Structure 1
Amino acid sequence: MAIQVGQAPKPLLPTRSVLDYVGAHIRYLRTRCGLSQAELGARIFVHRDLVRRIETAERLPSRELVERCDQVLNGGGSLLRLLPVIERERLLRSGRNGEPQSTVFRSAAMDRPVLDWLLATPSSGRCPPVEDDAVTRAAATLEQLRSQDHVRGAGATYPMLAATLHGRLPSLATTAPHVATGMLELAGYEAVDLGADGLAQRHYLHALDLMTRFGNRLYGGYLVAVSLAHLALHCGDPRQALRLATAGLQGTEGHATPAVRAALRTVLARAHARLGDEAACAAALLHVEADLARSRPGDEPEWITYFGEADLADEKAHCFFDLGMYDLAYRETNMALHLLPPDRVRRISIDTALQAAALTRAGRLDQACVTARHAIDHAAGLASFRTTHRIVLMLAELQPHANLPEVREVADYACATLQPLVTPA
């Protein structure tokens, strides 16, 4: 079958956006099959101009079109696996367009709750212990779910957490607001892991409302500058993340312990890196290292004790990757993977995928393919949209080299090994 001759196809950078990766992959599969855009359009019952617009990242394809392309182009499921990523992109775009849906993330929805928190009268933030079997059981359930979440992913644990919140949240919000807030924070974190960004935002804002009413300035600042700011970064809004991290730091001045301040400043560094401000990112990271050096575990809130050298190395790796410093990103992922305990399965998988992406950008393709397989192996047992999404981003880095046998083998291995992505709800 003859390929149309004419204008050269628009160059795509698969890692630039979901649209670019989907378009590039469809173009790759189409040319591999020897079909023109018009011939593919005829086989999937659409006009060739729609094929062109999808391949040039001008249009998001529908579910039906992706399914037909996967079948006609012998995609082997590689396009079907992208459906949840495409659906999340559709939800993000509807949120940016101001559509009033409760299922979408909207940056503007955070402004008023954060202002309310800033204006609230702070208290010591210390909740007197409640001698109550129900509270004790709820706290134990929270710790158990946190542990399982790291190992299994939110697809396995969120239903249990949602049931617990539905039955116990109203009473816990009165008797043990710190436990209720911890559950809501975990629910937000798990909603991100499900790809349900709008749901995550609602959980985090509910937790922030509790801490605002309770007067816990410190935990509220963490929710603003870490939970909500990370969510903004995850949804592609680094400027909002920068505003939130700054608000959290200013609002906890005089209250923050060194480890809490370090966690808040780390997100500040991430936002600067995403915006390409290398100097501001480096300055923030220097403050983080100084804060951690001053931290004493006995003086820190229990909920921040997780944050240490492994998490800092992970955050630095993301900063360096966003700044184009791929050798440094590789070094920091090595550090994080060395320090992370083996039960942090999701974090290990994400960091390994980031390492493979850094190796690809650095031109170390053979090593990148080996590392990519390790990332896929770690992700295989997880029910986690976020982890598999990170694998998809890693495959997008490799996509320009899809004609190489070792790269094709990695893509085939991902299709055969990974569970289907959880569809964003």
Structure 2
Amino acid sequence: MVSTGAVPNLAFRQLRGQRSAGEFAAAVRRAAREIGEQVACDARYIGRVESGEIRCPNYAYERVFLHMFPGASLADLGFSARESVRGRGARSGSAPSAPAALSASPSASDESHRTDEESDVLRRVFMMGGTATVAAASLGLGGPSASAAGVSLPAQRRVGESEVDAVEQAVRRIRVLDDRRGGDGLYRQAAQPLRAAYELLDTGTTTRRAVADRLHAGAGELAISVGWLAHDSGRFEDARSHYAEALATARLAGDAGLEAHAFCNTSFLARDAGRPREAVRAAEAGQRAARTLGSPRLLALLALREAGGRAGLGDRTGCDQAIGRARAAFERGSAAGDPEWMSFFREAELELLEAQCWSALGDWSRAARHGRRAVTLQDAHFTRNLALYRAQLAGDLARAGKVEEAATTGHQVLDLLDRVRSSRIRGMVAGAARVLEGRAGSSGTESFLTRHRELGGARPSPSGV
């Protein structure tokens, strides 16, 4: 919780000069791009800095601000020293004597503050004495039988194997639940273990480099997982913030695998948010990071992310070339260097991503061919993807004029929506329904449209998912 006694940052306000908060935020974003950083800065973030709510920026913002004002220190910019915000000094005086339990659900007022680079504030909530529970069970989503044993974090913040195991288990738990349910119902609860993981990273100590490396990787992967839940549920700015946090963590730790993963998801998000050029750049950066990792499948996925961006730019030749590289790398097969998080990337996913490329280029029939293969190949274990692949196929079939097949496929998506909560998928099936509205007439099409309306229309989210 932010203290009501925040001291306004007058130095930072002076640096803004006559520019509006929105204009200054745009300058921050431009400066970030100049040095290869990604920050989701807007007028609200600038207001929070100027009000003193953000006493010290996170590492990504720090690099951007110091780039904007060469020769200045954080103190010159009106910020507090990091150790006074994140270290023992931040926990003295007004800090509560007992921590917030990770199993508690965040309030609506807490949730309303989670935009921009908000993980910096969220971490500080957990910088206090006592103990904190860090475990997959803290998600509170699977019931007693699905919960893992909690791990007690001692007051001296000594981090060992058990704490790191808990962070890694939280990542796996989120991924399993996402495969089954989609992101909408998970995002708020999944933010809780993310806070605790970064609190461990910021204030914990360990004498073993291997444990420290695992903790950095685990915290970064957790940030990406939570970012994906935000992405899937239409919270694009939240997703961008979490992915940027993971990227900063990767660079600080020198973790090429985590960096490649962060760029992979950043590219995916940029494509969905209508920023295809950024999608291409992020995918290319991910490929550079992944070259030494010994994972052809990872390079294949990153090439497909690039292809998606190039399709968004209308670059058919570049898209086709990137798809060709992806298929060649995929055919090299699995390898010891394949990261754990890529378990979803099988032939079905490759077909789906290619279908999305041709769809973006307006080649609906070709997209539908790949979409059918994706549906046929999909593993029934991934419930969310069963709905996703069919939603993509329904839209492509509708646009290709195959209205009956599109309606039948649309019915299959609706059959799954009681189990899968994903704004992204609902938006896709709503898009298919809009196309079919103009081509209605057959009993099958009318049946699907009626059922879709009865289920609430599955409207896409305001962010465009």
Band the TM-score falls in, shorter-chain normalisation:
0.5 to 0.7
Matched residues in 1 for 2:330 and 2:421: separation? Answer: 32
Aligned residue in 2 for 1:151:
180
Matched residues in 2 for 1:240 and 1:394: separation? Answer: 27
Residues 1:142 and 2:154 aligned together: no
Matched residues in 2 for 1:361 and 1:397: separation? Answer: 7
Matched residues in 1 for 2:380 and 2:391: separation? Answer: 16
CA contact (8 A) 1:380 1:419 kept: no
Measured against aligned partners, the alpha-carbon deviations of 1:234-286 in whole angstroms (never above 9, x if no partner) come to 11111121122223323444446312211111111111222222221111111
Matched residues in 1 for 2:413 and 2:24: separation? Answer: 34
2:186 counterpart SS class? helix
Matched residues in 1 for 2:324 and 2:225: separation? Answer: 29
Measured against aligned partners, the alpha-carbon deviations of 1:339-359 in whole angstroms (never above 9, x if no partner) come to 222232222212112211221
Matched residues in 1 for 2:441 and 2:29: separation? Answer: 40
Matched residues in 2 for 1:110 and 1:151: separation? Answer: 36
CA contact (8 A) 2:294 2:337 kept: no
CA contact (8 A) 1:151 1:345 kept: yes
Residue 143 of structure 1 and its aligned partner are, at CA, apart by 0.9
* Residue in structure 2 matching 1:182, options 221, 235, 238: 221
* Residue in structure 2 matching 1:388, options 411, 416, 426: 426
Matched residues in 1 for 2:270 and 2:447: separation? Answer: 34
2:392 counterpart SS class? helix
Change (3 A) 1:101 1:389: farther
Residues 1:171 and 2:200 aligned together: yes
CA contact (8 A) 1:383 1:422 kept: no
Change (3 A) 1:113 1:295: farther
2:336 counterpart SS class? helix
Aligned residue in 1 for 2:399:
361
Select the structure with the greater relative contact order (CA < 8 A; seq sep ≥ 6).
1
Residue 131 of structure 1 and its aligned partner are, at CA, apart by 5.2
CA contact (8 A) 2:354 2:367 kept: yes
Matched residues in 2 for 1:109 and 1:422: separation? Answer: 32
Measured against aligned partners, the alpha-carbon deviations of 1:93-149 in whole angstroms (never above 9, x if no partner) come to xxxx994799x9x975862573599x9xxxxxxxxxx85222212222221121111
Aligned residue in 1 for 2:69:
none
Residues 1:114 and 2:143 aligned together: no
Aligned residue in 1 for 2:388:
350
Residue 297 of structure 1 and its aligned partner are, at CA, apart by 3.0
CA contact (8 A) 1:248 1:264 kept: yes
CA contact (8 A) 1:155 1:422 kept: no
Change (3 A) 1:186 1:424: farther
* Residue in structure 1 matching 2:372, options 323, 334, 342: 334
Aligned residue in 1 for 2:105:
none
Residue 292 of structure 1 and its aligned partner are, at CA, apart by 1.4
Aligned residue in 2 for 1:271:
309
What TM-score do you get using the length of structure 2 for normalisation? 0.61
Matched residues in 2 for 1:110 and 1:342: separation? Answer: 42
1:26-425 matched pairs, under 5 angstroms: 99=22, 111=33, 114=36, 132-172=161-201, 175=212, 176-224=215-263, 226-255=264-293, 257-402=295-440, 406-417=444-455
CA contact (8 A) 2:180 2:382 kept: yes
CA contact (8 A) 2:351 2:373 kept: yes
CA contact (8 A) 1:372 1:410 kept: yes
Residue 218 of structure 1 and its aligned partner are, at CA, apart by 3.1
> Quick one: percent identity of the two aligned structures?
23
Aligned letter for 1:111? R
Residue 186 of structure 1 and its aligned partner are, at CA, apart by 0.6
Matched residues in 2 for 1:280 and 1:188: separation? Answer: 28
Unaligned runs of 5+ in 2: 1-19, 39-59, 64-158, 205-211
Residue 302 of structure 1 and its aligned partner are, at CA, apart by 2.4
Matched residues in 2 for 1:255 and 1:420: separation? Answer: 41
Matched residues in 2 for 1:374 and 1:101: separation? Answer: 48
CA contact (8 A) 2:395 2:406 kept: yes
Residue 295 of structure 1 and its aligned partner are, at CA, apart by 3.6
Number of residue pairs aligned between Structure 1 and Structure 2: 315
Residue 168 of structure 1 and its aligned partner are, at CA, apart by 3.1
Residue 360 of structure 1 and its aligned partner are, at CA, apart by 1.5
Q: CA RMSD in A?
A: 3.1
Aligned letter for 1:141? A
Aligned letter for 1:299? G
1:236 counterpart SS class? coil
Matched residues in 1 for 2:411 and 2:259: separation? Answer: 39
Matched residues in 2 for 1:345 and 1:240: separation? Answer: 30
Aligned residue in 2 for 1:39:
none
1:156 counterpart SS class? coil
Matched residues in 2 for 1:271 and 1:369: separation? Answer: 29
Q: More displaced, 378-387 or 260-269?
A: 378-387
